[in-house]
Amino acid sequence: MKKLGSVIEAQQFDKETLEKIFSTANQMEKSPPSGLLKGKIMTSLFYEPSTRTRLSFESAMQRLGGEVIGTENAREFSSKAKGESLEDSIRVVSSYCDIIVLRYYKEGGAERAKKFSSVPIINAGDGIGQHPTQALLDLYTIKKCFSRIKKLKIALIGDLMNGRTVRSLCYFLAKHYPDNHIYFISPEQTRMKDDIKSYLDKHNLKWEERKNFNSIISDIDIFYQTRVQKERFEGNIEVYKEIMKSSEGIYITRDTLKKMKSKACILHPLPRVSEIKYDVDGDKRAKYFDQAKNGVYVRMALLKMILAGY
């Protein structure tokens, strides 16, 4: 019987563990073991609100019979008046519970927390850093859709420069599933950065870059759409507007659907703004709400593997 430790970044898993997480998530989906984590307490320690992620983790914990305490207001710990360090807060909070799900506002928060915690940490996003459970649920969803993660043509679409999820997905694919083909499809201003491209090259994952998906629609298996992250353009609203304008050509619409493969699959980490039109939702290839639901199963799997073992 092994136990998973803290989950800090996407890259930490070897392929075997990854596959174990997916098979466990599948088991959670098919027949959740009720009461498995009875008596265990999870703290949701959120230094900034992220209601969707928090509720998903809390649902996962409760479906396994565990208990939840938490706050979305953890910055109070480190308020100007009280001035406590993250490290001290973690030492205290870890004495209250069996696992901490941490959302922090600065890169590296989860790694720092892990060093001082007496219980495992799951990184639920640290600034522009990692959000490994999102990457895991993306992969799990791909696997469910195609029963494989190879020989797929994957279009990553939208704000590829700032999008944390597409970057993580690239890392995972390069390292463990290089036998796929990636298309980066974005406006000029939000192209995927060079570090990722080099990483893909190093692992021999083939990629190309395009301004739109018009000529390749009927080849693509996965449309992974993302929103332009307005909050990254504060004080730069003109640039934001320009990008939004040039994004219109890569929106997914009823028209796109007509040209897609019948077995294609449309993903989105959500929230969605206008980059996938509402009238696409009813199509059976629209899998983004299933993807959100899969997040609960993947988190159940992690909680089980960390707290009860595998």
Q: Which residues of 246-275 are buried (b: 16+ CB within 10 A; e: fewer)?
A: bbeebbbeeebbeebeeebbbbbbbebeeb
Backbone angles phi, psi at 147, to 5 degrees: 55, 15
Residue tagged 């029963």 (tokens)? 147
Q: Is 81 a residue that touches a second copy (CB under 8 A)?
A: yes
| C-beta closer to a second copy: residue 61 or 160 | 61
| C-beta closer to a second copy: residue 143 or 272 | 272
The correct pick among 2, 30, 82, 284 for binding a second copy (CB under 8 A) is 82
In three-state secondary structure terms, 182 is strand
Q: Is 176 a residue that touches a second copy (CB under 8 A)?
A: no
Q: Is 58 a residue that touches a second copy (CB under 8 A)?
A: yes
Catalytic residue among 15, 38, 52, 115: 52
Backbone angles phi, psi at 47, to 5 degrees: -85, -5
| C-beta closer to a second copy: residue 220 or 302 | 302
Q: Which helix (H) or strand (E) holds 267?
A: strand 265-267
The correct pick among 14, 23, 34, 148 for binding a second copy (CB under 8 A) is 34
The correct pick among 5, 23, 69, 279 for binding a second copy (CB under 8 A) is 69
Q: Is 52 an annotated catalytic residue?
A: yes
Of 79, 192, 63, 152, nearest to 71 by C-alpha is 79
Q: Is 216 a residue that touches a second copy (CB under 8 A)?
A: no
Q: Is 203 an annotated catalytic residue?
A: no
Between CA 235 and CA 15 the distance in angstroms is 42
Q: Is 131 an annotated catalytic residue?
A: yes
Between CA 129 and CA 9 the distance in angstroms is 9
Burial class (CB within 10 angstroms; exposed 0-12, middle 13-18, buried 19+) of 12: middle
| C-beta closer to a second copy: residue 49 or 249 | 49
Q: Is 53 an annotated catalytic residue?
A: yes
Q: How many residues touch a second copy (CB under 8 A)?
A: 50
Binders of a second copy among residues 251 to 310 (CB under 8 A) are: 270-273, 278, 289, 292-293, 296
The correct pick among 49, 128, 253, 259 for binding a second copy (CB under 8 A) is 49
Between CA 94 and CA 196 the distance in angstroms is 35
Given the rule CB under 8 A, which residues bind a second copy?
Answer: 34, 39, 41, 43, 49, 51-52, 54-56, 58-59, 62-63, 67-74, 76-77, 80-84, 87-89, 91-93, 95-97, 229-231, 270-273, 278, 289, 292-293, 296
